[in-house]
Structures are given as C-alpha cells and as structure tokens.
Amino acid sequence: MEIQLFVFNPIQENTYVLWDETGECVIVDAGCYNQREFDKLDNFIQSKNLRPVKLINTHCHFDHIFGIERCREKYNLEWGAHFYDFFLTEGAESQASMFGFSIPPVASPEIKLDDNQTVCFGKSLLKVLHVPGHSPGSICFYEEESRILLTGDVLFDGSIGRTDLPGGDYETLISGIKAKLLVLPAEVDVYPGHGPATTIGDEKARNPFLQ
C-alpha cells in the first residue's frame, strides 16, 4: 500500500490518499480549504490513474472536513466517520467561526464506523481503532501488512491531541493510546493529522505524555 500526504488549509491539516496496485484509493480527512487545494488533490489522483472508492475521517473537527462536500460531489462518494462524532458536523460552522474561519454546510456522514470494523479498498484493509479523548469519535486506521497507522489528532510526533474541545477528555485519551496504539509493533509508521510522521517505537520511548 502507498500513501501520499497533502498539507491543507490555514491550520496545516494532513490529508492522506492511500492506494494499492489495483488503483483503488481512499481519501482520509479531506481538509482542502478552497478550490485550489482541492485541484491539487484531484490532479494527483488523476496523475496516478487512481479511482477513489472511500471517503473516511479520523474525526469530524472542522479543519478535517473542509473538503468533504467537494469530494462527495466530484467522486460520488458517501463518507464515513465514527457515529459519536456526527454531532460535530452540525456545529462545524459555529466552531469554525470561533477560530476565524468559514465553512459551508457539511452533511452528516452516511457511513457509521466503529471499533474493530474494517475499511476495504482494492486488496487492502484498514482496521478501525476507536481512541476517544480528543473527540468522542476519534478513530485511527491501521493497515497491518504495510504497518501504517493514521492517527488523526489522537497521537502526534512527541505530543497528543488537545482535550479541551467539546467531548474531549485527557485521561480517556491517554488510556486509549496506551491500550490501542502503543501495543502495536515499534516499527509501525504513524501518520498524524498535523505535523510530521513518527513511529510507535519513537513515541513509546520519548513522547513526554506517555511516559
């Protein structure tokens, strides 16, 4: 499985495209803020002759859903997220305005994802790991064969997601990271929702929040 990172919108959110040899691909956390950013995403997909078949989110905070409606319309996709986060789409406009941004209305996800489900595309499988605490429905996507883990805003390089937003809880987040993520092999590559990639081994060894 291959992965491509795009850094979108003023909050520098990480959007990912994952694909395999079949040409089917998944778009994760479509955060493209404007048409120019969406065109960058679409041009990459076309240049690789990829066919988007899934649109999924690690969580539904506004900076991770700026591009959802564009992707739904362009690729004729339903989108999926954990159902505990569906309420965030209803409040996305007001939440964005608190941070000085505008976002058009975003319809709630049609697909409910939950812990231990799998998201299938091509010959690949992403396992859903529910790790609440940053938001009630924060989930990570793990591809065991390639040892790729997309953590959204749960786990960062040397840090963790903030827990002061609605539905956040520090103790819940820490316990979830330790129970669900740190038990994975040390060589698993971690691709977070903001900032650079890291590994499970590095975070176990040096992340100050997890010692």
What pLDDT, in 10s, does the model give residues 2-23? 999 999 999 999 999 999 999 9
Instruction: Place 101 in a pLDDT band, splitting at 50, 70 and 90.
Output: confident
Instruction: Place 92 in a pLDDT band, splitting at 50, 70 and 90.
Output: confident
Q: Which CATH number characterizes residue 139's domain? A: 3.60.15.10
Total structural domains within the chain = 1
pLDDT tens per residue across span 139-188: 999 999 999 999 999 999 999 999 998 899 999 999 999 999 999 999 99
Mean pLDDT of the chain: 96
Q: Which domain holds residue 155?
A: 2-210
E strands, 37-188, are: 51-56, 79-82, 111-113, 118-121, 124-130, 139-143, 148-152, 155-156, 159-160
**Over 90: is that where the pLDDT of 91 sits?**
no
Answer positive or negative: Cα dihedral of 49, 55, 58, 60. positive
Could you tell me how many residues make up the chain?
211
SS3 state at 177: helix
